């Protein structure tokens, strides 16, 4: 079980993760979906104690990762297929990792066999294809036979056979009662692998629901709000955990709050609202929207430069 | 099977059993990274890189080569001097001094190679991304840093000591040709071998600290060259008493007072030199350890 509470990471002027809270439960595959740059990898590095949160906290099986007595036996992670010294062989890489926890050589051979790396295990990891690198990363994650697995974009660069292999592997591991948390920027991949989905965009959680609810549109509550005080309402709703888009002046598209909560917030603070419409959209649609916004967001500085 | 093991261990961790951790460890081996396991891991990492083995071998080659060259040069020099009776008198004593330093004459290059090795062992962790694997396995980070430091310093010491001894073996017959005696077993020879080997281990530690602080191979090696090669020259060229005085405190100028038979003017006392060299190791290493613990990987 992974529990994040108000997890925030700020790099200089950029907020990569903005107060994210979620729970990843054991016995199911939880997908972590978001466009590139949404904060998925940063969140995963914070879970693994590699990046220090600016604020907030995250625990794995009740303890911060750093405080576990045998971290590799608790959590296995594939954070980056290139988290390997390029001049070292795959076998020696795994052997050195295993040595830190007194994991026997037999287990190293076992994970090499499980991931189909026998033929290249003695070759330098720097010469590996992206797919082979992913398999080596997964092998390293499995070394300690951990209760929790964190896989950042595991199917990236894999051939179709490899994609199916990862899908079956994570389903099998979750079936054994383990916690599996896996990220992707591909909605279609998630639909086939995950039981539960956490969607993240621009460092905020946009949706957190079982995959079947999301596919039927139930998990998605977006509300269109028109008001003559958009800035004030924006602030009020953000405080209540909403994620907000402003497609035009005086129009807010609010995700993550019920219409009733929005109306109550406006009433309490005497903000006039002249439209309040619940929107039903499939996740695919919402996700495409999000990705589009993300691209626009990136191009904004360039537009500012030309002003 | 193992999942139940990890579960029971993790549930005990926040509230250790009343019997205490020692008795718990006695019953069941520690499941996680103990210092010796991390050290073992660092040894595997060290020996599984061809580049480190090449650097170690080239240290030996350079030390033996310079030892032989220096013995030959000393012999030629002494030979030429004996034809001039006045110089001969001076050379009689000095020739012996020159001969005894022949085995360690390549030390400037050994320190550069092994110091760079110190830089590379840590900087390559960051440039290749290996650091994420290393510090995920040892999230407390300091044990991994300490283990790597032990590997770097012990290896540098042993390689320098063995290379110096080999250089001596090669130098003795060459010097013998010119009628110069070198006794590798004399206390001064042993002192030179030990002090220089400790010194090179210290340089490797400084290199590793630089590699940890800068996380960049080129930057780390350039800083090392700056401290050991550029600064002594620059300090000599800049006029003024301050730089003349400061030059004594550079790490590269601590070896002479530590190995001299008598105190050499314009150098530190031996005990001062030992303290200065120690400070040059301890300060960067502690700084590197503190920042490694605090910074993101």
What is this model's ipTM?
Answer: 0.85
Rounded to the nearest angstrom, the minimum Cα separation between A306 and chain B is: 35
| Disruptive mutation site among B7, B54, B133 for chain A (greatest number of A CBs within 10 Å) | B133
**Per the CB < 8 Å rule, is A100 touching B136?**
no
Residue in A74, A79, A88 nearest the CB of B48: A88
> Any CB–CB contact under 8 A between B24 and chain A?
no
Tell me: pLDDT of A68 over 50: yes
CB A203 within 8 A of CB A16: yes
Question: Where does the pLDDT of residue A207 fall: very low under 50, low under 70, confident under 90, or very high at 90 and above?
Answer: confident
CATH architecture of A220-306: 2-Layer Sandwich (3.30)
pLDDT at A29: 97
3-state secondary structure at position A189: helix
**Per the CB < 8 Å rule, is B296 touching A96?**
no
Residue in B34, B124, B135 nearest the CB of A85: B124
Q: How far is A119 from A40, CA to CA, in rounded Å?
A: 32
Chain B residue at shortest CA distance from A102: B37
Element (H, E) at A278: strand A273-279
Tell me: pLDDT of A193 over 80: yes
Using a CB-CB distance cutoff of 8 angstroms, which residues of chain B are in contact with residue A51? Answer: 296-297
**Which pLDDT tens digit goes with each residue over A32-59?**
998 888 899 999 999 999 999 999 999 9
Rounded to the nearest angstrom, the minimum Cα separation between B27 and chain A is: 16
Q: What is the separation, in whole angstroms, between the first and last Cα of chain B?
A: 33
Q: How far is A293 from A285, CA to CA, in rounded Å?
A: 12
**Per the CB < 8 Å rule, is A80 touching B2?**
no
At residue A25, φ and ψ (nearest 5 deg) are -90, 155
**Per the CB < 8 Å rule, is A84 touching B133?**
yes
Rounded to the nearest angstrom, the minimum Cα separation between B276 and chain A is: 35
Rounded to the nearest angstrom, the minimum Cα separation between A55 and chain B is: 14
**Per the CB < 8 Å rule, is A45 touching B296?**
yes
CB B120 within 8 A of CB B219: no
Using a CB-CB distance cutoff of 8 angstroms, which residues of chain A are in contact with residue B140? Answer: 66
Tell me: pLDDT of B71 over 70: yes
Rounded to the nearest angstrom, the minimum Cα separation between B61 and chain A is: 23
- CA dihedral sign, ordered B13, B18, B22, B25: negative
Residue in A52, A70, A77 nearest the CB of B9: A70
Residue in B3, B31, B49 nearest the CB of A70: B31
pLDDT averaged over chain A? 88
**Per the CB < 8 Å rule, is A96 touching B48?**
yes
Closest CA to B144 of B154, B156, B132: B132
CATH architecture of A2-214: 3-Layer(aba) Sandwich (3.40)
Tell me: pLDDT of B181 over 90: no
Chain region(s) in chain A for CATH 3.40.50.300: 2-214
Flag the least confident range among A33-37, A42-46, A126-130, B233-237: A33-37
Question: Where does the pLDDT of residue B92 fall: very low under 50, low under 70, confident under 90, or very high at 90 and above?
Answer: low
pLDDT at A304: 52
3-state secondary structure at position B245: helix
pLDDT at B17: 39
Using a CB-CB distance cutoff of 8 angstroms, which residues of chain A are in contact with residue B30? Answer: 69-70, 102
Q: How far is A152 from B244, CA to CA, in rounded Å?
A: 56
**Per the CB < 8 Å rule, is B38 touching A102?**
no
Tell me: pLDDT of A125 over 60: yes
| Disruptive mutation site among A63, A85, A107 for chain B (greatest number of B CBs within 10 Å) | A85
pLDDT averaged over chain B? 87
Tell me: pLDDT of A293 over 70: no
Using a CB-CB distance cutoff of 8 angstroms, which residues of chain A are in contact with residue B40? Answer: 99
- Rounded to the nearest 5 degrees, what angle is found at the Cα of A252, between the Cα atoms of A249 and A257? 170
DSSP code, position B8: H
Residue in B37, B125, B130 nearest the CB of A100: B37
Chain A residue at shortest CA distance from B38: A100
**Per the CB < 8 Å rule, is B7 touching A146?**
no
pLDDT at B94: 60
**Per the CB < 8 Å rule, is A50 touching B297?**
yes
Which segments within A52-189 are labelled E, that is strand? 55-60, 75-78, 148-152, 179-184
Once rounded to an integer, what is the mean pLDDT over residues B158-165? 97
Residues written for chain B: 297
Question: Where does the pLDDT of residue B6 fall: very low under 50, low under 70, confident under 90, or very high at 90 and above?
Answer: very low
**Which pLDDT tens digit goes with each residue over B19-38?**
334 444 455 778 899 999 99
Using a CB-CB distance cutoff of 8 angstroms, which residues of chain B are in contact with residue A72? Answer: 32, 136-137
pLDDT at A204: 87
Using a CB-CB distance cutoff of 8 angstroms, which residues of chain B are in contact with residue A88? Answer: 45, 48-49, 130
**Which pLDDT tens digit goes with each residue over A248-284?**
888 998 888 888 889 999 999 999 999 998 876 666 6
**Per the CB < 8 Å rule, is B137 touching A66?**
no
Question: Where does the pLDDT of residue A26 fall: very low under 50, low under 70, confident under 90, or very high at 90 and above?
Answer: very high
Rounded to the nearest angstrom, the minimum Cα separation between A145 and chain B is: 7
Flag the least confident range among A53-67, A102-116, B17-31, B196-210: B17-31
**Per the CB < 8 Å rule, is A96 touching B32?**
no
Residue in A51, A62, A83 nearest the CB of B133: A83
Structure tokens at B267: 């150098």
CB A58 within 8 A of CB A210: no
Q: Which burial class, exposed, middle or buried, applies to A5 when counting CB atoms under 10 A from its CB (0-12, 13-18, 19+)?
A: middle
Once rounded to an integer, what is the mean pLDDT over residues A100-107? 96
CB pairs under 8 A between A and B: 140
> Where do we find the tokens 């625990």?
A59
> Where do we find the tokens 């402003």?
A246
Question: Where does the pLDDT of residue A60 fall: very low under 50, low under 70, confident under 90, or very high at 90 and above?
Answer: very high
Chain A neighbours among B 221-280 (CB < 8 Å)? none
Q: What is the separation, in whole angstroms, between the first and last Cα of chain A?
A: 49
Chain region(s) in chain A for CATH 3.30.70.980: 220-306
> Any CB–CB contact under 8 A between B51 and chain A?
yes
Using a CB-CB distance cutoff of 8 angstroms, which residues of chain B are in contact with residue A146? Answer: 6
> Any CB–CB contact under 8 A between B15 and chain A?
no
């Amino acid at each position: 079980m992974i529990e994040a509470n108000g997890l925030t990471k700020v790099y200089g002027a950029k907020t990569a993760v903005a107060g994210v809270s979620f729970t990843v439960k054991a016995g199911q595959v939880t997908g972590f979906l978001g466009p590139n740059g949404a904060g998925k990898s940063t969140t995963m590095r914070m879970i693994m104690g590699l990046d220090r949160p600016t604020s907030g906290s995250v625990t794995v099986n009740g303890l911060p990762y750093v405080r576990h007595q045998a971290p590799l036996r608790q959590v296995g992670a594939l954070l980056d297929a290139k988290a390997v010294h390029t001049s070292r062989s795959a076998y020696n890489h795994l052997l050195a990792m295993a040595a830190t926890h007194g994991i026997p050589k037999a287990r190293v051979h076992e994970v090499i066999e499980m991931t189909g790396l026998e033929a290249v295990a003695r070759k330098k990891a720097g010469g590996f294809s992206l797919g082979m690198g992913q398999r080596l990363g997964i092998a390293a994650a499995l070394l300690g036979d951990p209760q929790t697995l964190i896989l950042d974009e595991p199917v990236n660069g894999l051939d179709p056979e490899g994609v199916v292999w990862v899908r079956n592997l994570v389903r099998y591991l979750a079936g054994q009662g383990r916690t599996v948390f896996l990220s992707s920027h591909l909605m279609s991949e998630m639909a086939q692998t995950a039981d539960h989905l956490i969607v993240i965009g621009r460092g905020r959680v946009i949706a957190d629901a079982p995959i079947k609810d999301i596919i039927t549109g139930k998990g998605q509550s977006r509300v269109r709000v028109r008001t003559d005080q958009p800035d004030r309402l924006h602030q009020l709703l953000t405080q209540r955990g909403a994620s907000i888009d402003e497609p035009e002046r005086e129009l807010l598209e609010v995700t993550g709050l019920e219409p009733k909560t929005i109306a109550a917030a406006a009433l309490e603070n005497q903000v006039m609202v002249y439209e309040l419409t619940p929107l039903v959209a499939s996740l695919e649609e919402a996700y495409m929207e999000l990705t589009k916004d993300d691209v626009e967001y990136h191009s904004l500085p360039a537009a500012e430069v030309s002003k | 099977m193992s999942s139940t093991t990890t579960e029971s261990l993790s549930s005990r961790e926040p509230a250790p059993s009343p019997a205490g951790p020692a008795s718990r460890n006695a019953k069941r081996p520690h499941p996680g990274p103990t210092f010796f396991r991390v050290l073992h891991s660092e040894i595997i990492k060290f020996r599984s890189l061809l580049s480190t083995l090449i650097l170690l071998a080239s240290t030996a080659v350079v030390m033996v080569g310079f030892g032989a060259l220096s013995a030959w040069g000393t012999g030629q020099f002494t030979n030429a001097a004996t034809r001039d009776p006045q110089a001969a008198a001076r050379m009689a004593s000095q020739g012996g001094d020159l001969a005894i330093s022949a085995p360690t004459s390549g030390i400037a290059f050994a320190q550069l190679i092994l110091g760079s090795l110190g830089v590379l062992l840590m900087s390559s962790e960051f440039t290749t991304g290996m650091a994420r694997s290393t510090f995920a396995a040892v999230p407390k980070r300091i044990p991994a840093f300490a283990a790597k430091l032990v590997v770097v310093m012990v290896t540098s010491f042993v390689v320098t000591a063995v290379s110096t001894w080999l250089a001596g073996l090669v130098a003795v017959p060459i010097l013998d040709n010119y009628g110069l005696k070198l006794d590798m077993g004399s206390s001064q020879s042993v002192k030179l071998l030990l002090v220089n080997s400790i010194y090179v281990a210290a340089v490797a530690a400084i290199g590793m600290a630089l590699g940890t602080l800068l996380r960049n191979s080129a930057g780390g090696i350039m800083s090392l060259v700056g401290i050991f090669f550029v600064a002594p020259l620059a300090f000599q060229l800049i006029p003024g008493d301050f730089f003349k005085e400061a030059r004594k405190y550079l790490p590269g100028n601590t070896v002479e007072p530590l190995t001299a038979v008598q105190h050499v003017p314009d150098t530190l006392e031996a005990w001062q030199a030992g303290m200065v060299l120690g400070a040059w190791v301890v300060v960067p290493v502690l700084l590197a350890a503190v920042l490694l613990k605090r910074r993101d990987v």
